[in-house]
Structure 1
């Protein structure tokens, strides 16, 4: 396999602990004044749901800064957003002043794109860099110390489930009782077989094999790369075991055979009941609310991962492309958006879990009425504290997408797991280079 031109961010070596130790807070809750030179339009381009528009933070910032106008756009799928951004970055045209960077892409940015992004140490965002849990900002830092992104959220995980569907199949609906039945991922699958025997018509145990796979590998420290920068997904037993387990679940009819974030049936499934459980990073909370709507309130609940495991799936950064003509104002905006006050507000209203230590402490007691008053602050805090510090590599996103497509071919098209695994490896080799 191709060896990257420099080592990936070996996060385990950069942080002594992933414990949530409070550090000094910066960034503040007050928006910075706009530049005195006249009105500024800041273009913000993100993917999925960061929560800023949904919570009203852009309007709040504009109100506090009369000279600033924010032009916001969001692409639903990160797999579409990122290739388009690469084209724009390469041409130097069409990029926004603020761009979102998914965690699976940050190592690529740090290693291969430093000249395309702004070093935030040289901007008004500099004072915000020290506010994060120990591993968050090191992942966005180059070997020579340039910081290319401010952290937004992280993705600690639980299991979200439809209480009504589990109850109809005779399974526990209380979160603690359900957790007691799931001490491992094998127990989760076994419970799915029980569910299948008595499930309401048209309802599968889980949404997708790809989602199940991502949840399992997201509890690991080493996934696609090792500490030396080598791409090791083909020889990492944790990856192969997760792939085989997810493929077997697909073959057993435990999945709804839906492609996450792409298949319209997946969005509809949150309200229609086509699946009863879903591996649930904290940011999925807001997604479920949006897709299930008011009718879903009280039907959904949240429990911990099997065995109380910790994990991290997702999270993102805000970066400023080097070609931006509004770097100072863009830096003020991202410092304010990612400040603890705003991170706590986004979690409380949307579900994106904070990455600043102060905000994490602030949301520890949060409950969510939509999810039967589930203690989401406690569930996701515990998951984040128990999560290993993951090693990230420049092509994590490529491998993750290849695995998801391979697993979809198993559950939806009857491809054998062995052939699907081989196809995933070939796809990665073709994109990354052997």
Structure 2
């Protein structure tokens, strides 16, 4: 079974939030399915909204002083009508998965009387498909729309659909971001259509207990030295498979391995000039060959990322490692809440890389553009993004946050008290820009499907590669 766009190699799925409450337990916030309205007979049906966003989820409560700090930290200069002077405004925000904003909504509403925030949430592919439809038809978009990095290039060529956030003071925030992250949301006419939320800097999450049973090292320092390259990583995997606990494999999914390697490529699917180079770029073929080797060596469990069998793999400990963007931490905790202390994190082979990351935009369809821009600024402020990181693992894309003591010293008890803040933040600070193009997400989906066909013995590696190239050509027109 092919994953289709819903997985897009898994990079953009958001974790369920796992929060440590005062009693030491965890509460998992589940999202319902799509709450978006659909176009019917030229009119929008009534949207089903996420209920009770005003209600606190979990028992973790910030002190009242934080509300005041977060309310002022965004630094937004709202031109036009002030949100404070408007009453009974409902701002809608559409995201995919869980961005970890629920407590922040409550704080914002408390400091902005008359503002109510309602969130729509969907899976990755339906969200982006619906957004494209709503923009094309001129109806149905929320005030604020989240866009994943694989799709942002689609819209920097179509800035007419979005508010230029420079109108609301965004230019003054440019220095917060690495140049490559900021430029990803800058349109051809120089308008700024979105502000960055997170980045997906990479590590390797691994089960200490499985490696120990296989007679292998279990400390991050030793592992980092033994898998400096992806060839080293597969060689380590062979050592694991020789003594692996019954029913387990070294890696979870070939597509996850492939996407991590592609995330390190410079360039990847596109050249700096915007040309599609999937077929001609040796780095893409090298990533494919490495993945096929892992499958041939029987190191790959062959699971479909974000499907039920993959989720069960976390619960049942059927794989020893998973390529791990920062946002994956929350997902792992949500799938295997009883595995505290059994997981740890080591450096990724190949020296860093980015897998995922998103932007918040304000659509031209919004009837409250100034107020929506103010909320975007608040949600992407350093204080807000620090809070989200500590709750979900979604790592801020802003330099001050990445360098802050709060992040650099943050350790996660679930991951054996690993210094996850330092690991992921330092990886993010070393990231290099990879040219993106309008069909980035389509290519990622095509590669995932191709790899799964090999894993499921539907096609040979050679036939799957050729089909992948055909799918790329079709997607890029």
TM-score by length of 2: 0.81
Structure 1 alignment gaps of length 5 or more: 1-25
- 8 Å CA contact 1:31, 1:65 repeated in 2: no
**Structure 1 pair 128–39 and aligned structure 2 pair: CA distance change class (3 A):** farther
Q: 1:27, CA displacement in angstroms? A: 8.7
Alpha-carbon distance between aligned partners in 2 of 1:107 and 1:30, rounded to the nearest angstrom: 26
**Structure 1 pair 102–62 and aligned structure 2 pair: CA distance change class (3 A):** same
Deviations 1:18-48 (A, max 9, x none): xxxxxxxx99437988342321111111113
**Which residue does the alignment assign to 2:377?**
335
> 1:43-54 to 2 correspondence within 5 Å?
43-53=92-102
**Structure 1 pair 37–349 and aligned structure 2 pair: CA distance change class (3 A):** closer
Deviations 1:142-164 (A, max 9, x none): 22210000000111100001111
> 1:36-185 to 2 correspondence within 5 Å?
36-53=85-102, 56-76=103-123, 78-111=124-157, 113-123=158-168, 125-185=170-230
> 1:242-257 to 2 correspondence within 5 Å?
242-257=287-302
> 1:243-392 to 2 correspondence within 5 Å?
243-261=288-306, 263-293=307-337, 295-306=338-349, 309-362=351-404, 363-392=407-436
The higher-RCO structure (CA 8 Å, 6+ apart) is 1
Deviations 1:282-319 (A, max 9, x none): 111111111111x0211111000125x02111111001
- 8 Å CA contact 1:310, 1:385 repeated in 2: no
Runs of 4+ in structure 1 deviating by more than 6 angstroms, as ranges, are 30-33
- 8 Å CA contact 1:121, 1:146 repeated in 2: yes
**Which residue does the alignment assign to 1:21?**
none
Deviations 1:187-234 (A, max 9, x none): 111111111121122211111100000101111220011111110011
- 8 Å CA contact 2:141, 2:363 repeated in 1: yes
Alpha-carbon distance between aligned partners in 1 of 2:97 and 2:86, rounded to the nearest angstrom: 33
3-state SS, counterpart of residue 250 of structure 2? strand
Deviations 1:312-336 (A, max 9, x none): 1111100111111111111111100
Deviations 1:69-99 (A, max 9, x none): 11112223x2232112111111122211111
TM-score by length of 1: 0.89
RMSD of aligned alpha carbons: 1.8
**Which residue does the alignment assign to 1:5?**
none
Alpha-carbon distance between aligned partners in 2 of 1:128 and 1:315, rounded to the nearest angstrom: 18
Q: 1:340, CA displacement in angstroms? A: 0.5
Query: Out of 196, 207, 214, which is 2:241 matched to?
Result: 196
Alpha-carbon distance between aligned partners in 1 of 2:204 and 2:238, rounded to the nearest angstrom: 17
Alpha-carbon distance between aligned partners in 2 of 1:401 and 1:277, rounded to the nearest angstrom: 22
Aligned length: 401
Q: 1:386, CA displacement in angstroms? A: 2.8
**Which residue does the alignment assign to 1:428?**
472
Deviations 1:238-277 (A, max 9, x none): 001101111221233212211212x111122222112110
**Which residue does the alignment assign to 1:12?**
none
- 8 Å CA contact 1:251, 1:411 repeated in 2: no
Alpha-carbon distance between aligned partners in 2 of 1:203 and 1:69, rounded to the nearest angstrom: 48
Q: 1:125, CA displacement in angstroms? A: 4.6
**Which residue does the alignment assign to 2:61?**
none
- 8 Å CA contact 1:310, 1:382 repeated in 2: no
> 1:393-404 to 2 correspondence within 5 Å?
393-404=437-448
Alpha-carbon distance between aligned partners in 1 of 2:370 and 2:96, rounded to the nearest angstrom: 23
Alpha-carbon distance between aligned partners in 1 of 2:216 and 2:143, rounded to the nearest angstrom: 50
Alpha-carbon distance between aligned partners in 2 of 1:280 and 1:85, rounded to the nearest angstrom: 28
